[in-house]
Structure 1
Amino acid sequence: NAGVRIRGGYSRANENPKHAFRYFFRAEYGDAELEYPLFGDEGVDEYDKIDLRTSQNYSWSFDGSDLNTMNRDVFSRDTQRDMGQPYTRSRYYHLYINGTYWGLFQTQERSEAAFGESYFGGDRDEYDVVKVAADRGYVIEVTDGTLDGWRQLWDISKIGFTSDENYYKVQGKNPDGSDNPALPVLLDIDNLIDYMLVTFITGNYDAPISNFLSNTSPNNFYAVYHRSGRSGFRFFQHDAEHTMRNHEWATDRTGPYPAGSTFEKSNPQWLHQQLSEQPKYRARFADRVYRHFFHDGALMPHRNIERFLARKQEIDLAIIAESARWGDSKRSSPFTRDQHWLNAINWIANDFFPNRTQMVLGQLRSKGLYPVATPPVLNSETAHVEKGFQLSMWSTGEVFYTLDGADPYEPEVSVSDNKVMLARQVIKKVLVPTTNPGTAWRSSLTFDDSGWRQGSGAVGYESGTGYESQIKIDVGSDMNGKATSCYIRIPFTVDKNEIKDYNIFQLRMLY
């Protein structure tokens, strides 16, 4: 026994004759949980709720559309699986209600606290789950836990990631990249990247930011966070029906979009956009693209086609029953398997996917998320080889590699390598602007700063107590209650014969 509710938002409309359902297993109805392996060895065998979903957008029953595949949504979730990420599982079923055939449906796990407990460990009370409340104006809400962790992640992201410090901080690390158990891990970087790659490859224009809402509001995403764990927020594809289309809305979903600049509208794509200003994130993003877009990766055209057609094969005959039940729901001449469903399936398999990977790769390159240069090529496309295998690497440039798993991208700087170019007491030129000075002051060596104040030591002012002894150039009379900006020019010299030996410049400020 179980409780049943209608599932969905827009699809709850009266003109929709075929609703989706959500089943609740509670002690008041019978057993507190369903104890059955709904997904065989692929999933767990205890559930407190399960969804029975069906196509709504592009469906025969509700939309009267010849684009119906009953495959778009589950494809995105299966793709997360093949990329090595957590995902919600599904199986197809025929549904009868009081003996009346009601059509083809599909189970789907709920990516909520109980899901986290089942697959990630801990107790469900330790989980926060963030989603979009469409009925409240497309703002974020929690189904479990609180928004505290999400707020902390958003606050840091709002500041930005131009420095390494915040990039490492959301991963629970110190500014040098070492783990800090005292800091919470707020974000699973690789999970976010892979989530966005699924969004881009499918051209999803209704999640996590909706084109139907002028790209100013989020929609259709779930974020799961284990407060007591070290995994960070992880994101789940959900309701991915508005995908795999051939029109201007869906061609390029890489953004950037405004949704997310306020906390109420925050979403994973905005986090990705903020992170994209950080070189280390862009390098990691490129690594994930290379993993999935090349060498039999999960987003290669043939892999996408295989995944899509595997689900097609599961319902190749079952779709006939769906046609018999709902094919004429919105028209007198019914939609059929052979004339309509196969055409929709074949267009995606034969026209959409063969070109999609290269198209998205070009979009990512144009956004600086994948380099124009080709990475080194290995003589093995698999991660595991036989003992004695002779590995070779080829590239048009130098190849840097490590044998201990460390990232050769990270610069290694020892104390003996450091050279101080700007001492604390170096001469500075200072201006508190009263008009717009343009940009030449920060980009031109010949800029005339003779009218600026000059001095050495720290620049600033103190309205309370504590820093008076450190401030040598006091700008309080010009700034306090009057201005918010202070421009500082510090000339320095770099030997052109030495610059080739430098691999990093670091500016340290006390503020």
Structure 2
Amino acid sequence: MNHPLEPGENLTQLALVLLVNGSQTNVMNSFPHFKTALLALCCIHFGWHPFELEGQTLRINECMAANSNGLLDEDGDTSDWIEIWNYGSSPVSLAGLYLSDDPQLPDLWPLPSIRLDSNEHLIVFASGKDRRSPEHALHCNFELDRKGEFLSLNQFIEGEWMELSAFNPFPPQKQDVSYGYVGNAGSMKTAYFLIPSPGTRNRGESVSGFVKDTRFSMDRGYYEAPFDLVISTGTHGATLAYTTDGTLPSPTNGTQVLPENTTEPSIALLKITDSTLLRAMAYKDTYSPTNVDTHSYFFHGSLLKQGDEGKPFDQSVRWGHTGPDWEMDPEIVTHANPEIKPTKEDFLRLPTLSIAMRFKEMFGRGGIYIAGQSVEKQVSAEWLNPASDPQAPNKVQGFQKNATLQIVGGSSPSRWKSDKLSMRLKFDQDLNYPVFGEDATDRFDTLVIDARLNNVWHYGGGAEPVGQRERAQYVRDQYAANLHNAMGGTSPHGRHAHVMINGIYWGIHTIHERPDDNFTASYLGGSNEDYDSIKHRPNDVLQGSSDNYNQLHALAGKDLSIEENYAAVSALLDIDDFIGYMLMNYYIGNGDWAHHNWYASFNRIDPDGRWRFHSWDAEKGLHGVSNNVTGRNDRGGPTFLQHQLIRNEGYRFRFADHAYDQLRHGVLTPQRTALMYREITDPIDLPIRLESARWGDNQKSRPYTRLDWIENRDSLFGLAANRQLPTHDFFKRRSEIVLSQFKQRNWLPFMEPPVFNQHGGHIPGDFKIEIEAANQGSILYTLDGSDPMPAVQNTHQTTFHLASDSHEKRAMMPGDSRIEDDWMQMNFDDSDWPIGNKGAGYENRSGYEALISSTLNFQDSVNQSDTETIYMRVEFEVEDPIPFDRMELSMRFDDGFIAYLNGFEIARANARGTPDTPAAWNASAA
């Protein structure tokens, strides 16, 4: 007879039953692993004291061979594990028992001498760490192979090795899925457990196996001609389900393709003739089904003819400022000018991000496009044609990941400030793919699909709408982030891509990172939980708290000219990184900052952690070559910190070092900034024709075209026909203008740094380095790497008044251009100019008369048809050597001025023209 081993029984008792009944059952066949069972039987029959077999109610009940996110060991590692269960009613000692994954080495790892009580489970980590102390977690000296292998629990009895329990072998394993016995001790059925249960009974959901993934005979991508497609699975008896409307296929949704019999897998045959979103899965009873695979197939011709026909648009509710906008404008698509007309190759010049979902969940009532920022929906995201290879567009595969999608963008989703909305993907599991190349991380939990709001053709807001649309470039924000990264900062990486929503072409977007705690952990080290992450304002906390940020601003609110206060701020703020961030924003003239549009992060665990700022939403940069945002001082933001820090002499010199280095020799020079702008605009130079067809007519009947885009780009390089644009020759002129703005703010020392004939790099052996001092000053240098500038000490300062309000002045209001531009030089003869000791000018109304010397009042010379310029000269003497290290100029003026010192321009305010350009005799204020 055969008798299953039940809880509470042991082998010797069972053998006695067999003898008494006189059965001739072959015990060795019933228990082939227990070779000493017959000897134990004989001993009982003759009345000998029986040998009790330890471990007879033990078995390897469950194991995990692919642990990635489950049980942690005491080191914090996700080690694999083995669970041993005593299913008997009595305690069992583990002395003399062994675990092994090699049938030739049954004693590979000895268990410690501990007792396992009835119904108790023991976890042994299969980590290879070899730890046997009973007081701590147990670790055997081998690891488990996720591909499947032998695993046994063994005991040595009377000269023979016996397998008390074994998987011989366990099958290939899935990540974070365990394998073991189902149900009670009598069950010998094994299965996979989708929810592992280490240390407890195996009662979770179990499956017999896993349906093999679906396969597609054609790669996702772009096609020109119809083709036959085969969907299959390698699991016999499995059923296929697929959809083409963006919805998820399942046993109850989509086309069902049954197998011909249980020994054959099912196969689906399709004819693909038009752009198609194909989503497929396979399932089988008692098996875990496949995930849903999504493959997008696009046909260039049908995309260029995109309209309302054949689309599920009737399922949408009203959206957009004048109603839904689906169309590719026929006026652009069929245009006679090849510079304007898009081509099929334009789709292949950028990667494509294809979003697949239920159409109503995007555009229907309650869908995310209608609901705005408060709703998330599940989607599939595919990255197509990442290699941008028009000759083999589908050769290099990108990725397909499941994610949630929601609308984002601050004020942009306001109804309907923009019909083209920005979105954010949050992946169900981290995306591991080099989206932005080798210079960026390849791990992402979030990506932003940025449609841009400002300076784009589809802008529908009320802030200078025509100007915003006419400045469309689609690169400004990412260009700012690129500049900051090139300067050593940490800002989002990004790239342009075409976006499809359920097979509908949605235009060119910037796909970029979000500089949150996950971003900073990827680039700066540590874990997400280590960081405080803030955006836009101190109380908008993404991760952690605002306590440390508020402390930074509280310290910055003190008098930072006192070195102790400055040191306290420096302990919380990365000064060099901060200066780079500020220089970038000042360079682009960021006009929508810093009352918002910034991110900041702080590693509160790292003793060396400092606050760092990250560029964000810098769309309103590069508006005009003379734009000046140095006056911004927003409480709670980075501009407040700048205005506080600049009061410290040490910071001022440090800021000056960075400013001259970047604007004269570094990233912010005319050559580098122009090159980097080319690098970001060149990829969309031709694809912008598709954006013109999709959104160029969204706000006006005559659509914007690529030629409009080119004119704005060329203006920045000084190449546009219209030289009156505010952006004319931006890159060539901007660097020196920004330096001049810093000088006007008194953020730079009076003396400029020395000029080298070569700034670093490789030089020939006979090369002579030449250093020229600016402003005819002296040069101090070192050769050992030390700073020749002595540390500035905030000790007692002596003030010298060089020229007061009542100091003698000479002034003139010219009536024509006869006075040469050298009037500000030291050797100019001003002996015939009127003299006074107050101000100079004239007063049309009242209130300023007392400030103007009677001898310098030019009211009688005013010509109402002209604008006037007053030239004033003030002479003063200083000791040699100069007994001070800085000079301050205080001016009372109306409406503007330019100041010179010994012929060199040192400050200007509200004066038209570029720095170092003298004002004409009839110049007007800006």
TM-score for the superposition, normalised by structure 2: 0.39
2:652 alignment counterpart: 282
SS of residue paired to 2:735: helix
SS of residue paired to 1:201: helix
Which residue of 477, 482, 486 corresponds with 1:73?
477
Which residue of 735, 751, 767 corresponds with 1:373?
751
Instruction: Say if 2:409 is the partner of 1:8.
Output: yes
Measure how far apart 1:406 and its partner are.
2.8
Instruction: Work out the CA distance in 2 between the residues paired with 1:365 and 1:502.
Output: 18
Structure 2 gap segments, 5+ residues each: 1-401, 461-465, 719-727, 797-878, 886-926
Measure how far apart 1:390 and its partner are.
4.4
Is this contact kept in 1: 2:669–2:735, CA < 8 A?
yes
Which residue of 585, 592, 612 corresponds with 1:199?
585
Select the structure that is richer in helix.
1
1:165 alignment counterpart: 564
Which residue of 424, 432, 436 corresponds with 1:22?
424
1:453 alignment counterpart: none
Instruction: Work out the CA distance in 1 between the residues paired with 2:522 and 2:510.
Output: 21
Which residue of 624, 629, 654 corresponds with 1:253?
629
Is this contact kept in 1: 2:650–2:791, CA < 8 A?
no
Measure how far apart 1:376 and its partner are.
1.5
Measure how far apart 1:55 and its partner are.
2.1
2:739 alignment counterpart: 361
SS of residue paired to 1:333: coil
Mark the CA change 1:367 to 1:78 in structure 2 (over 3 Å): closer, same or farther. same
User: After superposition, what is the alpha-carbon deviation per residue over 1:390-421, rounded to whole angstroms, capped at 9, x for unaligned?
Assistant: 444332332222334332222499xxxxx99x
Which residue of 313, 318, 323 corresponds with 2:687?
318
Measure how far apart 1:25 and its partner are.
1.3
User: After superposition, what is the alpha-carbon deviation per residue over 1:471-507, rounded to whole angstroms, capped at 9, x for unaligned?
Assistant: xxxxxxxxxxxxxxxxxxxxxxxxxx9x99999xxxx
Instruction: Work out the CA distance in 1 between the residues paired with 2:686 and 2:579.
Output: 36
Instruction: Say if 2:746 is the partner of 1:349.
Output: no
Mark the CA change 1:221 to 1:57 in structure 2 (over 3 Å): closer, same or farther. same
Instruction: Work out the CA distance in 2 between the residues paired with 1:412 and 1:99.
Output: 63
SS of residue paired to 1:219: coil
Instruction: Work out the CA distance in 2 between the residues paired with 1:219 and 1:5.
Output: 21
Is this contact kept in 2: 1:323–1:336, CA < 8 A?
yes
Q: Which amino acid aligns with 1:35?
A: N
Paired residues for 1:263-302 under 5 Å: 266-295=636-665, 297-302=666-671
Measure how far apart 1:122 and its partner are.
1.0
SS of residue paired to 2:500: strand
1:104 alignment counterpart: 508
Is this contact kept in 2: 1:33–1:46, CA < 8 A?
yes
User: After superposition, what is the alpha-carbon deviation per residue over 1:88-111, rounded to whole angstroms, capped at 9, x for unaligned?
Assistant: 100111011111100001111111
Instruction: Work out the CA distance in 2 between the residues paired with 1:304 and 1:343.
Output: 18
SS of residue paired to 1:292: helix
Structure 1 gap segments, 5+ residues each: 27-31, 134-138, 173-185, 209-217, 261-265, 414-418, 421-496, 504-511
Instruction: Say if 2:601 is the partner of 1:224.
Output: yes
Instruction: Work out the CA distance in 1 between the residues paired with 2:717 and 2:611.
Output: 33
Mark the CA change 1:293 to 1:501 in structure 2 (over 3 Å): closer, same or farther. closer
Paired residues for 1:232-247 under 5 Å: 232-246=610-624
2:831 alignment counterpart: none
Instruction: Work out the CA distance in 1 between the residues paired with 2:790 and 2:767.
Output: 28
Instruction: Work out the CA distance in 2 between the residues paired with 1:341 and 1:294.
Output: 29
Paired residues for 1:180-199 under 5 Å: 186-199=572-585
Instruction: Say if 2:437 is the partner of 1:51.
Output: no
Instruction: Work out the CA distance in 1 between the residues paired with 2:618 and 2:792.
Output: 43
User: After superposition, what is the alpha-carbon deviation per residue over 1:180-224, rounded to whole angstroms, capped at 9, x for unaligned?
Assistant: xxxxxx11111111111111111111111xxxxxxxxx1100011
Instruction: Work out the CA distance in 1 between the residues paired with 2:411 and 2:517.
Output: 25
SS of residue paired to 2:578: helix
Which residue of 543, 546, 555 corresponds with 1:156?
555
Mark the CA change 1:376 to 1:231 in structure 2 (over 3 Å): closer, same or farther. farther
1:307 alignment counterpart: 676
Instruction: Work out the CA distance in 2 between the residues paired with 1:108 and 1:303.
Output: 22
Mark the CA change 1:52 to 1:408 in structure 2 (over 3 Å): closer, same or farther. same
Instruction: Work out the CA distance in 2 between the residues paired with 1:170 and 1:237.
Output: 21
Q: Which amino acid aligns with 2:562?
A: S
SS of residue paired to 1:313: helix
Instruction: Work out the CA distance in 1 between the residues paired with 2:732 and 2:659.
Output: 17
Larger radius of gyration: 2
SS of residue paired to 2:570: coil
Measure how far apart 1:144 and its partner are.
0.9
Q: Which amino acid aligns with 1:142?
A: V
Q: Which amino acid aligns with 1:167?
A: Y
Instruction: Work out the CA distance in 1 between the residues paired with 2:884 and 2:663.
Output: 33
2:786 alignment counterpart: 406
Mark the CA change 1:399 to 1:7 in structure 2 (over 3 Å): closer, same or farther. same
Measure how far apart 1:140 and its partner are.
3.6
2:899 alignment counterpart: none
Mark the CA change 1:311 to 1:160 in structure 2 (over 3 Å): closer, same or farther. same
Q: Which amino acid aligns with 1:233?
A: W
SS of residue paired to 1:170: helix
Instruction: Say if 2:533 is the partner of 1:129.
Output: yes
1:329 alignment counterpart: 698
Mark the CA change 1:156 to 1:392 in structure 2 (over 3 Å): closer, same or farther. same
Stretch moving more, 341-350 or 268-277: 341-350
Mark the CA change 1:402 to 1:310 in structure 2 (over 3 Å): closer, same or farther. same
Instruction: Work out the CA distance in 2 between the residues paired with 1:253 and 1:62.
Output: 24
User: After superposition, what is the alpha-carbon deviation per residue over 1:147-185, rounded to whole angstroms, capped at 9, x for unaligned?
Assistant: 12112211110112011112222223xxxxxxxxxxxxx
Mark the CA change 1:502 to 1:317 in structure 2 (over 3 Å): closer, same or farther. closer
Is this contact kept in 1: 2:484–2:491, CA < 8 A?
yes
Instruction: Work out the CA distance in 2 between the residues paired with 1:187 and 1:329.
Output: 45
User: After superposition, what is the alpha-carbon deviation per residue over 1:263-308, rounded to whole angstroms, capped at 9, x for unaligned?
Assistant: xxx011100000010011110010001111113x211122211111
Is this contact kept in 2: 1:223–1:236, CA < 8 A?
yes
Is this contact kept in 2: 1:308–1:349, CA < 8 A?
no
Instruction: Work out the CA distance in 2 between the residues paired with 1:274 and 1:62.
Output: 36
Is this contact kept in 2: 1:282–1:368, CA < 8 A?
no
User: After superposition, what is the alpha-carbon deviation per residue over 1:66-100, rounded to whole angstroms, capped at 9, x for unaligned?
Assistant: 21100111111111122122221001110111111
2:438 alignment counterpart: 41
Instruction: Work out the CA distance in 1 between the residues paired with 2:669 and 2:752.
Output: 17
Mark the CA change 1:45 to 1:386 in structure 2 (over 3 Å): closer, same or farther. farther
Measure how far apart 1:126 and its partner are.
0.6
Instruction: Work out the CA distance in 2 between the residues paired with 1:501 and 1:104.
Output: 61
Mark the CA change 1:126 to 1:389 in structure 2 (over 3 Å): closer, same or farther. farther
SS of residue paired to 1:11: coil
Instruction: Work out the CA distance in 2 between the residues paired with 1:412 and 1:286.
Output: 14
Aligned-residue RMSD, C-alpha: 2.9
Measure how far apart 1:344 and its partner are.
1.5
Q: Which amino acid aligns with 1:14?
A: R
Is this contact kept in 1: 2:649–2:792, CA < 8 A?
no
SS of residue paired to 2:717: helix
Is this contact kept in 2: 1:60–1:330, CA < 8 A?
yes
